Amino acid sequence: DAGVIQSPRHEVTEMGQEVTLRCKPISGHNSLFWYRQTMMRGLELLIYFNNNVPIDDSGMPEDRFSAKMPNASFSTLKIQPSEPRDSAVYFCASRTGTSVYEQYFGPGTRLTVT
């Protein structure tokens, strides 16, 4: 299995631009997570999907952030408009079932907003 796939791996954009991050979870996994990692705040959960349905979006920082999961094999995290404080590494992770099993993380997208 290719593991969790994220694209792009690096994104540099100017403040005010729209940014879309993409994730393909491991086939057969029905839970998907988006995390943000910064030096100041560590690893933060942004949103959790189960069977393509958002279950917990309490970590989404503000209305500029939105996430979708149109099907079991694809999810997007969108920031519009982007701001310099959104600069971080964004990880997608997936796992099987609703009980606690191992989360498999993707390689991350390093976002820089100038």
Q: Which residues bind another protein (CB under 8 A)?
A: 4, 42-43, 45, 48, 50, 55-56, 91, 93, 98-100, 102-103, 105-108
Q: Which is nearer to another protein, 80 or 98 (CB)?
A: 98
CA–CA separation, 90 and 38 (whole Å): 9
Beta bridge partners of 11: 111
Q: Which is nearer to another protein, 65 or 91 (CB)?
A: 91
Q: Which is nearer to another protein, 14 or 56 (CB)?
A: 56
Torsions phi, psi for 12 (to 5 deg): -120, 125
Q: Which residues, other chains included, contact 39 with Cβ-Cβ below 8 Å and sequence gap of 6+? A: none
DSSP letter for 15, please.
Answer: T
Minimum CB distance to another protein, residue 43 (Å): 4
Minimum CB distance to another protein, residue 10 (Å): 11
CA–CA separation, 95 and 17 (whole Å): 31
Minimum CB distance to another protein, residue 24 (Å): 14
